Amino acid sequence: MTYPEGPEPFGTRLRRAMDTRGPLCVGIDPHASLLRDWGLDDDVAGLERFARTTVEALADRVAVLKPQSAFFERFGSRGVAVLERTVAEAREAGALVLTDAKRGDIGSTMAAYAATFLDRGSPLFSDALTVSPYLGYGSLAPAVETARANGAGLFVLALTSNPEGREVQHAVREDGTTVAATVLRHLAAENADAEPLGSFGAVVGATLGDLSAYPLAAVNGPLLAPGIGAQGATPAALPAVFGGAVRNVVPSVSRGVLKNGPNIIGLRDSATRFADEVRKVVG
């Protein structure tokens, strides 16, 4: 649900960004091989150059930028400082920032993670955060509450594209539903009556094939779809995977765009091509 007072909900801001800038999320994944491909050293200086170049190229034109926290954290406090600047500069330039940290814990620890990434007073405040529900969906309550209060959003791991995920996500509960379907039903409840789009989304791999058995449209929230580009999925395949929920899909591309750096024009042209291809199939 949305509220008449307080910050504008993430779902509202995301719908507007996708409608005006195109439905695309580009990852900021400065892993060692990409730094090397860009001619950069695998150190904090290389990390900052990579992140700032990506932000300069894309933050004023793509809907969502998604820094992968792990690739910054591996450099310790100096890397986290780069992440802080990356998040702030991307948001200042107009992009929505989804920090990909996949946090999941219980009680006060989950509340601390929520305060770190979802509280507007935090230097790492992001428009949205990826979280894991596999300590029980209810363990995410502090993150849900903090997100609502700050106009932020969550993307909850539901149907991930890695083969190891099946043993948990496709497990069948006593009531006959899969764990993944249960996660999606919880998200539908969070987004009940939200217009034009709920703020609590799911991570659903674009490489998974026909997902018509799952209540994706009922989520009424964004569906982050990794796997476009280097992992083999294409924008043209999105309707077959997501069916009636395809307009709420946020396709996520990382290497498919980043491989064109450090040339800023190359990064921009690649992102534009992906966004245009998605527009053609989504409408």
Enzyme catalytic residues: 102
Contact 203, 155 (CB under 8 A): yes
Question: CA 150 to CA 128: how far, in whole Å?
Answer: 10
Bridge partners (DSSP) listed for residue 99: 129
The helix or strand, by DSSP H or E, that contains position 45, with its residue range, turns out to be helix 44-58
What b/e readout covers 179-218, taking b as 16+ CB neighbours within 10 angstroms? Answer: bbbbbbebbbebbeebeebbbbbbbbbbbbeebeebebbb
Pairing of strands 249-253, 25-28: parallel
Contact 201, 221 (CB under 8 A): yes
The pair of structure tokens assigned to 66 is 């998604």
Contact 26, 254 (CB under 8 A): yes
The pair of structure tokens assigned to 163 is 């083969």
Question: CA 11 to CA 127: how far, in whole Å?
Answer: 10
The helix or strand, by DSSP H or E, that contains position 195, with its residue range, turns out to be none
State the number of CA atoms in the 13 A half-sphere of 209 facing the CB.
1
Question: CA 201 to CA 219: how far, in whole Å?
Answer: 7
Contact 124, 150 (CB under 8 A): no
